[in-house]
Amino acid sequence: MSNIKAQAHPVAPSELQQLRDRLGKEFRAKASLISAARRPLPDQTGNGTYLDDKPIHPDVMDKVNEGLRDLSHLGIKDVETLLKVVELGKSGEPWQDKEYLMEHLIQTASILPDDSTLQRKVTDGFLTQLYNDLQHPPISYLGRDYQYRTPDGSFNSLVNPNVGKSGTPYARTTAPKAMQPGALPDPGIIFDSIMARKDSNREDHPNEISSVLFYLASIIIHDLFKTNHIDPQISETSSYLDLAPLYGSNLEEQMKMRTGYSGKIRPDSFSETRLLSFPPGVGTLLIMFNRFHQNVAEQLAAINEKGQFTRPEGEPPKIDYNTKEWWKLPALTQTSTAEERNAAAWRKYDEDLFQVSRLCTSGLYVQIVLQDYVRTILNLNKTDRNWVLNPRSEIKGVPLAAGNQVSAEFNLVYRWHSAISAKDEKWTENLIKHQFIDEIPDGDLTKLSYPIFMRGAMKMEQVYKSQLPNEREFAGLERQSDGTFKDDDLVKIIAESVEDCANSFGANRVPVCMRVIEQLGIEQSRAWSLASLNEFRKYFNLAPHKSFTDINSDPEVAAQLSRLYDHPDQVELYPGLVAEEPKKPLVPGAGLTPSYTVSRAVLSDAVALVRGDRFYTIDFHPKKLTNWGYSAVAFENSVDNGCIAYKLFLNAFPQHFRPNSIYAHYPMTIPSEMESVMKTLGRHAQYSYDKPGRLPETHVAFSGAAVKALASNTESFRVTWGGSMEYLISPSQKDFMATNVKGASIHSQVLKTITADPKWDPTVRKYFEDKTATMIAKKAYKLANLTQVDIIRDVGNLVPVHYVSELFSLPLKTSADAAKVFTEHELYLALLSIYTSFLKDTDSIDSFPMRQVSYNAVQTLGRLVQANVDDVQAPGLLRSIMTAAFADADSPIKEYGDSFIACLLNSGLDAKHVVWGHVLSTASGVTATLGSLFATCLDYFLAGDKKTLAAVQELANQDDDRSFEKLQRFVLEAARLSCQITVYRSVNTATTFPNAGPKGQTLELQAGDHVLLNLRSACRDEAFFPKPEVFDPTRPFEAYMHLGMGPHENLGFGTTKTALTAMLKVVLRLKGLKAATGPQGVLHKVEKKLPGGVEGEKYSGFLTENWDGVWPVPQSKSILSESPG
């Protein structure tokens, strides 16, 4: 307890204390008089007065220090150390507020003599701390006006709203103080002498960086620099990395990209016309960002976090794009019609979805810049280290969100034409020759003058400007009926770009086809009156070049420079940046290896661009992007050491890139080099090095007959062992998959033998009833006058974990046995990662991070299960000692598990096959499927008809077998109507199913195809369930045989219905049972797309507890009751 007491009024001193004070005051008065008499004459002021510098009486200091003894454990012994702590607080160190540090500070200040130097020190330090706690002025506001990025970049900085806005002048980084010669060398001569690529300099980049890095660099450059042709001092794009090449640099360009519906933009298009003259890999990258935006808009609308994206009623009004400024609507007034209000509601719906989708997409863009692009520039991608240059770090005294204005110098720093690959050199040469065939019929590009080039470029730009973005030709590709390009064509472009090694940096490496463009660059830099190379270097505190060989040690290059410029100080910035000697590779440290000056400057600019951007710093958080959006663009150090480009690739081309494709995970270095790197790092097995190609087609089976046939014929339709599963079990264990067909048959036979035991069903029922009741009692908590529990997270998903742990001796850590390995939730996640490995729809963006994060846990689990299986197969002292450390005490459930394993081993199956193909797959299937059925059934009862709920509650309170059987029928019918389960199979034999495809079409399957078994649709097949929408608990048990199906039969239909009913029985008998009020009591679902855009009965995924992801099984729903059960 604290000794500090609340005081309404000062406490009166005791009589003894009053006497001491009077005597003390008299003595102090006499002492002051004697002291004054002895003071020297004042000589420190001009008016002959004394400075007010009163010494502090020792008694006062004793009292202060006595009061600070309470803080001695914090290292505070006296006023001086207190002041040091205050200084630490000012520097950002957290205050120990529970130690009453602030209150002791106030006490100290109040005890010290008024206006003493020490009192002022303490008070001033405290005031400084309090003032600096708040921003002055604020740098982030509430309100719609400042919520989103503006099209032109204005109001990014709220302190200086026009900083970085498109249509404003370039900044100047370095003052050009040195006098330059009046007559400078001809730009063409400069190019030919020190820039033009020679055959001897056609060499691969020393770090084997791919062209993709330079394609992203092209997007960055055109995001930041767009020189006005009439007034070259003006940049027509913003100074922020806001992905303007995709969205546009002003309102008019942005609205050309937008559809006005549901936040979407025009498909497979981008705004920046200049990039249509670049190699098609650049445009393909932008199309990939376009597709990411479209997906984000769909997900945001589906999740609708906090009602932010509630869809208006009815259908959106049709937009006439020919209407000038079609996006403007009249302001609403009290007399506005219903039609006008509806149009405004739809416009707001589109606006919010578009703007948040843009924030998320540009967020992914900057994450790729920092995590993939900069890491490759620094050669960190070839290490196993997580360090990254993070401009967002909160550093005391270094401003955030201050804005940014790009400079003319950096317009030149980012011109990396030396790195153009041989492939792209040829492509660019052919483009220019074709475009200027009339001006240079002989194809000699050295004859192309820049007046002719500029006229041709502006003519082409006018053509593009007259077209909508989705009307412009791109790479000779044809659009499909929905406006998109074929994935096959785009994947071919981007895969070849990943394989294409860039050229090295250095002098005499710029392709000759770029001659006229480089001439323009030199002329432009002169028109801007930019500083020289050495002046630019001095600005960054780099040593200026003292000689031409300092600039480039190649004697020929140095000689050419000396003939062009009389002195190193006269070398112009742009020619100097190109001709300067490049750095040598260093791992980590130097990956891009451009010239020394560029290497330094580009990092400074990267930090400034991100740190100065409000939407990438203080306004980059889940409240702006939503929880799901923030998670969608977040990186994890456990995945690729933070690299994140794979999210862009897998989202754009899910049917072509495997989740572990090295092409997707490290696209900025050529695959052969990354394969070598991964071997060195010991991570080779984590990735696929195959060139991307169309993956096997996935069909959807809708009918009950087809689902039943596909599930039961294990020879023709096999369990899908996806890439995730192959990785989780490690390469050395893949061979057992070949015996999958035999194993499925044996599994079924063994299961029938085990479950035929008359004691099996009662044992299962008792276990699940007891364990469910125990978990509710353990996990429930009092809230006001009720009891609340997350019935899914803490009960429904964990009871099956306990069951399979006991069945198969899994090392589950409990309060009764803390010596084991996994907690409940850890084991649940490990089993869930195995379960998702069988689901092809999760073998995508999210599957790779899950397998990376869970790999060690799953491997540990597999080894322990292997030990238990080996012990069952051949008991021995060493194995018995090892398994004794993890196994539960003998129980009926464990005995059945041992029998299950023994029967599988006796059938001739390999031990590894038993572990991975049966024990762990069954454990994961039971955990996920039973947990999912429990959640959806309970949700159905609580959210459905009150009469049905009352009926099941009455049955749950009966303990006779007949009531239990009747309750089973209610449970199965609820499971049928709430089913969200899907299962995948791999087609081994070509088959045709009539009326099984979408809209009753024939389902034709070829060997190698995948097929999704849509159990939700099968549950509503009238051929199996007459009047399928009616709740009918009298249907025969055999109609529900598919419920509980997982990768295979799991533990069979009979066990599933018994366990599920037993769990629900315990919950349904809770007194006063109801869903928790508000969002916590809702099972949040998100409708999922069917593979290949197939139309038909859809199923749902489930939001995680934080709404930051969509999982195949439910995660959270709270209930209330009057008692814990």
Write down the pLDDT at residue 211.
98
Identify which has the larger pLDDT, 966 or 52. 966
pLDDT category, 199, cuts 50, 70, 90? very high
DSSP assigned state of 49: P
Binding residues: 417
Q: How confident is the model at residue 2 (pLDDT cuts 50, 70, 90)?
A: very low
Task: State residue 1054's pLDDT score.
Answer: 87
pLDDT of residue 129: 75
Q: What pLDDT shows up at residue 36?
A: 47
Q: What integer pLDDT is reported at residue 87 of this predicted model?
A: 58
168-322+342-615 and 698-1121 agree in CATH topology = no
More confident residue, 28 or 817: 817
Neighbour count for residue 842 (Cβ, 10 Å): 22
744 vs 712: CA distance, rounded Å: 10
Q: How far apart are CA 474 and CA 1050, in angstroms?
A: 51
Which range has the top average pLDDT, 299-303, 918-922, 1013-1017? Answer: 299-303
Helix count and strand count (H, E) for the chain: 41, 15
What would the mean pLDDT of 873-882 be, rounded to a whole number? 52
- Give pLDDT, residue 364: 98
* pLDDT of amino acid 5: 40
Distance CA 1121, CA 1076 (A): 9
Q: Compare 841 and 957 and report the one with higher pLDDT.
A: 957
Domain ranges of the chain: 15-132, 168-322+342-615, 698-1121
**Whole-number mean pLDDT of the chain?**
86
Instruction: Please give the pLDDT value at position 984.
Output: 85
Residue of 1040, 987, 990, 1035 whose CA lies nearest to 1015: 1040
- pLDDT of res. 11: 47
Q: How much is the pLDDT for 815?
A: 72
Residues placed in the known binding site for heme b: 417
Model confidence at 696, in pLDDT bands (50, 70, 90)? confident
Tell me, what's the pLDDT at 731? 47
CA dist 166 and 148 (Å) reads 16
Q: What tokens does 7 get? A: 């005081």
Q: How far is CA 536 from CA 118, 540, 566, 899, in A?
A: 48, 7, 18, 78
Which of 115-124, 268-277, 818-827, 875-884: highest mean pLDDT? 268-277
Sheet holding 982-987, edge to edge: 698-701, 1010-1014, 982-987, 717-719
119: pLDDT confidence band, cut at 50, 70 and 90? Answer: confident
Pairwise CA distance, residues 649 & 639, whole Å:
15
Range 489-502 average pLDDT: 98
Give DSSP secondary structure letters for 730-791: -GGGGGGGGGHHHHHHHHHHHHHHHHTSTTHHHHHHHHHHHHHHHHHHHH-EEETTEEEEET
Residue 170 has pLDDT above 50, yes or no: yes
Instruction: Identify which has the larger pLDDT, 823 or 153.
Output: 153
Q: Which of 177-181, 546-550, 808-812 is predicted most confidently? A: 546-550
DSSP assignment letter at 900: H
Residue 857: per-residue pLDDT? 75
pLDDT at 467 over 80: yes
- The predicted structure's pLDDT at residue 877: 44
Architecture per CATH, domain 698-1121, reads as: Orthogonal Bundle (1.10)
Residue ranges of the alpha helices (H) in 690-732? 704-712, 723-729
Q: C-alpha distances in angstroms, 741 versus 449, 715, 832, 902, 943?
A: 70, 6, 23, 19, 42
Q: Which of 229-243, 631-645, 659-673, 1035-1049 has the lowest mean pLDDT?
A: 1035-1049
Which tens digit of pLDDT belongs to each residue from 745-797?
Answer: 666 777 777 777 889 899 999 999 999 999 999 999 998 888 999 999 999 99
Residue 31 has pLDDT above 50, yes or no: no
With 70 as the cut, is the pLDDT of residue 535 above it?
yes
Does residue 72 surpass a pLDDT of 90?
A: no
Percent of the chain scored above 90 by pLDDT?
58
**Dihedral through CA 202, CA 207, CA 212, CA 218, nearest 10?**
-70
**What number is the average pLDDT over the span 355-384?**
97
Q: What's the pLDDT at 721?
A: 61
Which of 1106, 618, 1114 minimizes the C-alpha distance to 832? 1114
**Regarding the domain with residue range 168-322+342-615, which homologous superfamily does it belong to in the CATH classification?**
Haem peroxidase domain superfamily, animal type (1.10.640.10)
Q: Is 1010 helix (H, G, I), strand (E, B) or coil?
A: strand
- With a pLDDT cut of 70, the percent of the chain lying above it is 84
CA distances from 843 to 189, 322, 657, 941 (A): 56, 43, 11, 32
Give the DSSP letter string of 392-437.
Answer: T---TTS-SS-----BHHHHHHT--GGG--HHHHHHHHHHHHHHTT
Q: Which residue has the higher pLDDT, 55 or 351?
A: 351
pLDDT at 863: 80
pLDDT at 474 over 50: yes
Whether 10 has a pLDDT exceeding 50, the answer reads no
Catalytic residue numbers, as ranges: 414
Using alpha carbons, select from 1083, 1037, 1074, 750 the residue that is nearest to residue 936. 1083
Q: Is the pLDDT of residue 1004 over 50?
A: yes
Mean pLDDT for 448-472 is 91
- Whether 53 has a pLDDT exceeding 60, the answer reads no
DSSP 8-state secondary structure symbol assigned to residue 264: -
**Predicted confidence band of residue 19 (pLDDT cuts 50, 70, 90):** very low
Band of the pLDDT at 876, cuts 50, 70, 90?
low
**CA dihedral sign, ordered 511, 513, 514, 516:** positive
C-alpha span between 145 and 154 (Å, rounded): 11
Which residues pair with residue 986 across a beta bridge? 718, 1010
pLDDT of 35 reads 46
Most confident listed range (95-104, 459-468, 704-713, 814-823): 459-468
**With 50 as the cut, is the pLDDT of residue 16 above it?**
no
The Cα–Cα gap between 630 and 635 comes to: 10
Interval 1063-1089 mean pLDDT: 94
Mean pLDDT along residues 972-987: 90
